[in-house]
Every structure is written in structure tokens, then in C-alpha cells.
Amino acid sequence: MGTAWTQQRSREEWSHRKTMMGWGLLSVLLLGLTVVFSVLLFYTFYSCGPRPCERPVCLALMANYLMTGNASALPCIDFFSFVCGNLTSGWANESRNVLEILKEENEHRLQRMLEASVSWPPDSAEEKTVRFYKACMDTDAIEVSGAEPLLQVIEELGGWRISGNWTPPDFNHTLKLLMSQYGSFPFFKAYLGPQPSPPHTPVIQIEEPEFQMPFRPDQKNYTQILRAYVSYLEQLGTLLGGDQKVVLEHAYLSITITSNLLMVANPLVQEKTEDKLIQETTIAQLQEMAPSIDWLSCLQAVFSVMTLSPSQPIIVHDLDYIKGMSQVIEQKANYRDYLQSHMILGLVSTLIPALDSHFQNAQRNLSQKLQELAGWSPISLSIPRWKKCIKETETFFKPTLGAMFVQETFSRDSQDVATQLFSEIQNAMSRHLKRLHWMDEGSQREVQIKLSQLKVEMGAPEEILKPDPTKQDYQDINFGSSYLQTVLSCSRSLHERTMRGFLGPPYRHRWKVFPWDVKAYYSMPDNVAVFPAGLLQPPFFHPSYPSSVNFGAAGSVMARELMHIFNQYLVPEGCPACDIPTLNGELLCLQKHYESISLPTGNIFNSSHTLLENAADIGALVIAMQAYKKWLQKHKGETILPSLGLSPYQLFYQSYAKVMCGSPASKDAQDLHSPPIVRIHGPLSNIPTFARHFHCPRGTPMNPSNRCQLWLSA
């Protein structure tokens, strides 16, 4: 047996070994847990990070980007070519852009809708819309009808001496019929329009007509133009059965009347402004100043939904023309047959789109001859029939056609996502206001109020998105035995609906575009931002796209329209309380920044002329990126497009540039936007995060040494 010390030592050693074994097991356990945690952490990051979007719409977008972009271009040197190179390579001598391509796609969508084999309820708005389009497309029936439908119209007007069988009608009676039943205004145009100043109540307005003869006696090449126009009128008269000698006589007199009217019309280059030309008066006063027209009778016929009196207030645009017009008619008062022929020839020209190919060829030949005499480059006038018929259908059935387009292409989900996207952009701009170091607090508050009171209309006007089930449109439209009779019935119906619209609810913003258009806009007087469904389509927007695409493309478009709120503060003396030296310095910096951008040979632009739009482009990019960053902080599950190798931020900038893709060819000098390559390189090279995400070395074109701070960099 050992001693007590030995036994004690053995117990201590055993205890020590047990302790060491425990620490070893603990270390192994900790190591295992670390490995497991690392695997879980890796899996978590992988699963929460950007995942490829495999949906068909994303794969289609990926294919679009691969097809239109030029992967061999270096994004830090030429991002325009990197994004748009293959798309614009075939546009060297054309002026095109991606929005025009989208517009053409929307036209084809309309065509497919109108030609689809869908059984609409009889006499429904949709059925009449489709029926009208098909009547327009039935060229065989139009050719068979020939001039007969138009001869019936002339007979209803009392006939004319060109036909050899007529009864001299009262001048004002014919004029009244032309304006009220046929929408033709040979001497003046009368319409309902909002007053220029608030509360914008509707008022009858009188102005010059749209002259059928677009030239003046003092114009260059007048003699050659005169011959071309005489030949045109001669063709119209003979197509309607007139004797050539009589037709020529009346054609020359008609041209003389138009020439006299043009001479009393104020030329567009005059020094007077439109505001000075507008005068408020009454029907009775106008009757004294221009007595050749029976104003009360004629206007009552045109505005039949109103009860007029001599004291009715009206607005006259250019009273001098109206007085001169009355004198021209007075001089021809004893030649009623010539006045009658003049008015009917004008009507025939307006109705040619609804007539057969003989009349249309005559008008086409005149247009080509006038282009030649004006020295313009030949313009192809060959437009597919389906496009013409869509235009005609748009004119008369806009609400229903818009509703059909929205139902087909802009789902409720699309509208909700687009509205939320706009809300993110609006909130980002509101937050960003405080960072504008040149803008005083008072001006910032003004902008904040505008933003808070701003109304956005997404997809289509409210009356299309939420139609009134009790409203029965088109019930007064009758489909006649000829296409011309159908067009005339539609024209009268449209006139009545337009007047009812003006005389209905109080003034509200009326869309300047169709729902299938691709142009967004901001109305400063009404503080309304409009984004039509036609714009919110692939490849610029889809509810299933990665958010980086929607924010970069559609989001930047939304931000750009809101940036126009700042226009009034950026012009000279527009913001007297602002830090003017700083503001002017930033605007000058912006101008120089754009002037430094390289352009293709032969392309020039005026950076001072496009300054406000350039400022809007850069500001839109800043706001859209701020909104996207905020969205990423609040949401998980961002996706990317497979096979592109682009991160979400890179995809954002690619999508931003894609909206700007356009022909590098010279652009219209009057365009307030810079050329496409400048609209891409200008904003992106001014944003540090672009250079960071594309790893652009310092000093490359897309990562310059100096940047402008008008909106601060994103």
C-alpha cells in the first residue's frame, strides 16, 4: 500500500485527467458547433441573398438585355454601348428610341385585341368598338360604295353648282349644318374649352380654322404650290361628277377665298402673344363686329346641349381675324354658289379618310408634291391600313379602347405594384429635400406641400378604371350602310359626349395621352403625375421583375416627372430666398459636366438649352437609387436576372440606361432633352455608387475626378 500522500497524489492526478478530458470534449463540442453554425450562416446568407428569377417574364427580359446590349463594350468607358450597342447599331441614319419600339408593340396589342375572335354582348361598348374597326378595315365595301355616300351628303347640304343640279341655299344655313352635323369649320372654329384662369369653367371659344390650303400668297414657290392645289381640287370635283371647266372655275374661286382669309389671319411669327390676342366678349357684341355670320343661330346649333342668348359670354382668339373674315364673306355675298362650293370642297377634304382609294390617292399626291416644293426629304406616306383604322377607332371610342387595353395588359397586381413603386419614389424625394444645401427652408416647405398634395394617376384615367355602370355611351351611334355614314354618326356622338363632359362635373385634370401611350408627364397647374399603362410594360416594368429593374427603369421615369416640380426654382430669379451663388455654381458645374461628354462624330447639342432636363435626369437617378436602397432595407428576397452576371445594383443602373436607349444620330435642335448617349453618361458618371458597383478606375469616363452636387450624389 502506498502512503497517504501517494494516495492523495493519485486522486489529484485522476481529477486532473478528468478535468483535461472535460475540456477536450468541450473543445470538440465547440468546434463542432462552430462548423455547424458556419454552415447554417452560409446557408442563411445564400438563401436570403439575390436569387435568379426563373419566371418566364424574367427569362424574356434577360434575353432582351443580352440581345440589345454589347457585352464587348467596357461599362466604365462606354456604358451606352454596353447597354444599347446592338439595339442602336442599325439606327445610324434614323432617329429612334426604345420608347418608340414599345409604342409600336402597344399598337400591335391593340390590333390583336380588335381582331381577336371574341363574342362581345350585342350593342355593348366593346362590340361597337370592334365593329367600327372592322368596318374601317373592310376596304372592299368602301371601294364598292365609291363617291355615292359623299354625293348624298352634298345633296343634304343643298347641292352645289358643280353638279349642275342645285338650289341656292342660305349661306348661314349651310354653315350651320356643316359645323353642327359634319364637324366642318370652313371660316372659324368654335369649341368649348376651360377659361385660362381659375376656376377653369367651360366657355365657348372662337378662333381661326385649320386651313385646308397651307400656304399664303406671299410664300416661296406660291405659283407651283397653287398649281398643285388646283390640280387636287380638280380631281375631287371630277370624282364627284363635275364638269372639268366648272370645277376649275370653282376651284380657283375657293383658293381665292382661302388666300383672302389667310391674309387677314395673324402670322405665327408676329410679336403679339397669345394672351394679348384673347378677348372676352358676348355673342351680341360679336354680331356687331362680324355681321356676316348669324352667330347666335350657328353657335346654338353647334352647342345644342346649351341654351344660348345674345348675352352669352364667349372668348375670341384674334378678333382682328374674325372681323377680317366677316369682310371677306361680305365681299362674296353675291356669289353664293362659290361660297357653297368653297365650303363643300373643304368638307370633302376632311372626309377623305372615310372615302375610297381614288380620293385618298388624290390627297396623298398633293402631300407629296407639297413636301417636294418645300424642299423636305421624301417621307413615306404608306401607312398600313390597320394602323389607320386604329387611329380612327381611337378618335371615337377612346374610353372603351382604353379599358380594353388596360384589362388586357395592366392587371390589378401591376397597378398595385406600380402605385407602391411611385409611393417609394415620392417618399424618397420628400426625405431627400433636407439634403439640398442650396434650397432655403421656405422653398423646401413649398415642395413638401406639393408632394403631399400630389395626385398620381396610374394606368388609365379614373373613369376608365372605375366606369359608371349607369352611363350608356355610344347609344346614339348608328352603323350606316356605308363607312362614311358610320363615321359621321360617330363624329356627332363624340361631339355630344365632349360637350357633356365639359358641362358635367367641375373641372378636373384631363389626360393629354391615351392609356396605351408611352409618355408620362407631370401637370404643374393641376399637380398631377400621369403614368399610362402603355409605358408600364415590359421591358420597363412588370410586377414579377426584380425590384432593381422596376426601380431603375419605371422608378427613374416616375422620379424624373416629379423632378419637374423643381423647374421653377432652377430658373433665374425663380428662388430668391435660395443660396443663389451656390445654386448658380452647381448649375454651371452641371453645364460643364455635360459639355465634357464625348459624342459621336457629327452630333452636337446645346447644354444650356437642355439644362433643366439634364438636371431632372440626374435628380431622378439620385431619387430612384435612394428609394431602392430604402426598399432593400425593408424587404428581403431580391432577385436577379440569370446569366447576366450583374448584381442588383448593377442591374438597377442597366435598367435605368435601357429606358434611354436611342439612336446616336443627330436629334431635333428644338428637343429639350440631350441625345440618348448624353442622357445615359451624364447622370451615371456623376453618381459615385455607379463607379463603385462597376469597379471603374478613377479617371475613366464613367468615374471622373470631379462631380456636381446639385442634388448630392447617391
DSSP state of 555: I
- Per-residue DSSP letter, 48: H
d(CA 486, CA 153): 13
What lies within 8 Å, CB to CB, of 56 at 6+ separation is none
Beta-carbon contacts of residue 644 (< 8 Å; ≥ 6 apart): 62, 65, 66, 651, 654
First vs last C-alpha separation in the chain = 84
Residue with cell 466604365: 76
CB atoms within 10 A of CB 131: 18
Residue 561: active-site member: yes
Kindly state the helix (H) or strand (E) to which residue 204 belongs, with its residue range: strand 202-207
**Whole-angstrom distance, CA of residue 262 vs CA of residue 260:** 5
- How many alpha carbons fall within 13 Å on the CB side of residue 32? 6
Closest by Cα among 451, 391, 397 to 427:
451
Q: Give 609: exposed, middle or buried? Use CB within 10 Å, 0-12, 13-18, 19+.
A: middle
* Pairwise CA distance, residues 362 & 228, whole Å: 11
Beta-strand runs (E) in 256-342: 278-282, 313-317
Please state the φ and ψ torsions of residue 317, each to the nearest 5 degrees. Answer: -95, 115
Q: Are 271 and 181 in contact (CB under 8 A)?
A: no
Ramachandran category for residue 315: left, alpha or beta (phi over 0 → left; psi -120 to 50 → alpha): beta
Q: Write the single-letter amino acid at 13.
A: E
Q: Of the residues 126, 561, 586, 638, which is catalytic?
A: 561
Burial classification of residue 211, based on how many CB atoms lie within 10 Å of its CB (0-12 exposed, 13-18 middle, 19 or more buried): middle
Q: Which residues, 6 or more positions from 437, have their beta carbon under 8 angstroms from its beta carbon?
A: 579, 582, 709, 712
CB 647 within 8 A of CB 558: no
Residue 58 C-alpha cell reads as: 424574367
Distance (Å, rounded) from C-alpha 545 to C-alpha 211? 49
SS3 356: coil
Cα 543 → chain centroid = 22
Residues 6+ apart with CB under 8 A from 246: 161, 162, 164, 237
Tell me the CA distances in angstroms from 389 to 114, 130, 359, 503, one per residue in order: 10, 11, 17, 30
Cell matching residue 337: 354658289
Give 530's strand partners.
457, 521
Q: Are 145 and 484 in contact (CB under 8 A)?
A: yes
φ, ψ (nearest 5 deg) of residue 201: -70, 145
Whole-Å CA distances, 706 to 424, 435, 593, 685, 686: 30, 19, 9, 10, 8
As a residue count, the chain comes to: 714
Catalytic-role residue among 617, 638, 668, 671: 617
Please identify every residue annotated as catalytic. Answer: 561, 617
